[in-house]
Amino acid sequence: MFDLQGKVAVVTGAGSGIGAAIARLFANRGATVAAVDLDVEAARGVANEIARAGGAAAAHQCDVSQPASVDALFRALIAANARLDILVNNAGIAHVGTIEQTTPEDMDRLYRVNVLGVYLCARVAVPVMLRQGGGVILNMASIASLIGLPDRFAYSMTKGAVLTMTRSIAVDYVTRGIRCNCICPARVHTPFVDGFLKKNYPGREAEMMRTLSAAQPIGRMGTPGEVAQLALYLCSDEAAFVTGAAYPIDGGVTAV
C-alpha cells in the first residue's frame, strides 16, 4: 500500500519542516522527488539525505511568488522527467497579528507566497497532468481556514484562499483525472516554531513550548512526520476516491 514507485513528485518548501518530511517519505515510497525551496542549499541538504538513503531526489531553487521563477522550474522539471504525477504546494510563510497590527505590506507579502504561489504552481502543473491523463495536487492549508484563530488575520486570509482554490480545482477537473485536496494542520513543531520562540521569548523557550503544546487538546504539537503520513495517503492511489476534501490534523482542536 501507498506505493509511489514510478511517480514524479514536486514538493515546494521542501527545505525544512513539513515539506522536508513529505519529500523524505515520498522518496522512501519510491517517488522521484523534486525538492523545491527558495533556500536551495536547504533543499540540497534534503535531496542529499534522500540520495544517501537510496532514494531519488534533486534540489531546485524557486521563488513561488514569481511567475518567471515558477515557469522556469517546471520547464526544467518536465525536461528532466517528462511527467508530473504529484504536486505538493507546501511553501508558505506566517504572520502574527490582528487586522490593526497587519500592514498592507504584510498582506501583500503573505498573499504573494501563500496564495499566488499555490496558484502559479497549480496553473503550470494542471496542463501537464491533463496531457498525461491525470495527477494529484495537494495543498497545505491550516485549521485557520476552518476556524477563527486569534492574532492570525493575514495568515487566516491566505489559508482560506488555499481551501477554496483546492475545492475549485477539484470540481473543475474531477472528470479529467486530477484530484486536489488540502491538509489543515494545527500547530506543528517545525523550525519556524523554534525560531518564533527564540525571537519572542528569549530564555523562556521551554516554558512557552509547554504552553503552546498544552493549548491543543491532545496536549502536544504535531510532528512533520505525522503530516507527511497523511500527505502520503492523499497522494497515493489508495485515495483515488478522495478529492475536494480538507483534512484536519489538529490534535482535537476542531472537535472541541
- Active-site residues: which are they? 155
**What is the rounded distance in angstroms from the CA atom of residue 213 to the CA atom of residue 205?**
12
CA distances from 171 to 35, 120, 157 (A): 28, 18, 22
Q: Which helix (H) or strand (E) holds 96?
A: none
For residue 219 the three cell numbers come to: 496536549
CA distances from 102 to 112, 131, 156, 186, 230 (A): 15, 42, 12, 22, 32
With b for 16 or more beta-carbon neighbours within 10 A and e for fewer, the 15-25 pattern comes to bbbbbbbbbbb
